[in-house]
Amino acid sequence: MSDSKQNYIDGEWRDASTGETIETTNPAAPSESVARYQQSNAEDAEEAVAAAASARDDWAATPGPKRGAILREAASILKDRKEELTELLTREEGKTHAEAGGEVQRAVDIFYYFAEKTRDLGGTVKAASGSQTNLYTVNQPVGVAALITPWNYPIAIPAWKIAPALAAGNTLVLKPATVAAGTAVAIFEALDEAGLPDGVANIVTGPGSTVGETLVSHDDVDAVSFTGSSEVGEMVYSKATDDGKRVQTELGGKNPTVVSDSVDVDEAAEIVANGAFGVTGQACTACSRAIVHADVRDEFVDRVVEHADAIEIGPGDEYDMGPQVTESELEGTLEYIDIAADEGATLETGGGRPEGERFEEGYYVEPTVFTDVEPDYRIAQEEVFGPVLAVIEVEDFETGLRVANDVDYGLAASIITENHTEAERFVDEIEAGVAKVNDGTTGLELHVPFGGFKRSSSETWREQGDAGLDFYTIEKTVYDSF
Residues annotated as part of the active site: 284
pLDDT band at 278 (very low <50, low <70, confident <90, very high): very high
Q: Which domains does the chain have, with CATH numbers?
A: 3-251+458-480 (3.40.605.10), 255-437 (3.40.309.10)
pLDDT band at 281 (very low <50, low <70, confident <90, very high): very high
Mean pLDDT confidence for 159-170: 98
The pLDDT of residue 2 is 59
pLDDT band at 179 (very low <50, low <70, confident <90, very high): very high
Q: What is the pLDDT of residues 317-358, one digit of tens each?
A: 999 999 999 999 999 999 999 999 999 999 999 999 999 999
Q: What is the pLDDT of residues 353-401, one digit of tens each?
A: 999 999 999 999 999 999 999 999 999 999 999 999 999 999 999 999 9
- What secondary structure, in 3-state letters, does the chain show? CCEECCEEECCEEECCCCCCEEEEEECCEEEEEEEEEECCCHHHHHHHHHHHHHHHHHHHHCCHHHHHHHHHHHHHHHHHCHHHHHHHHHHHHCCCHHHHHHHHHHHHHHHHHHHHHHHHCCCCEECCCCCCCEEEEEEEECCEEEEECCCCCCCHHHHHHHHHHHHCCCEEEEECCHHHCHHHHHHHHHHHHCCCCCCCEEECCCCHHHHHHHHHHCCCCCEEEEECCHHHHHHHHHHHHHCCCEEEEECCCCEEEEECCCCCHHHHHHHHHHHHHHHHHCCCCCEEEEEEEHHHHHHHHHHHHHHHHHCCECCCCCCCECCCCCHHHHHHHHHHHHHHHHHCCEEEECCCCCCCHHHCCCCCCCCEEEECCCCCCHHHHCCCCCCEEEEEEECCHHHHHHHHHCCCEECEEEEECCCHHHHHHHHHHCCCCEEEECCCCCCCCCCCCECCEECCECCCCCECHHHHHHHCEEEEEEEECC
Residue 1 scores a pLDDT above 90:
no
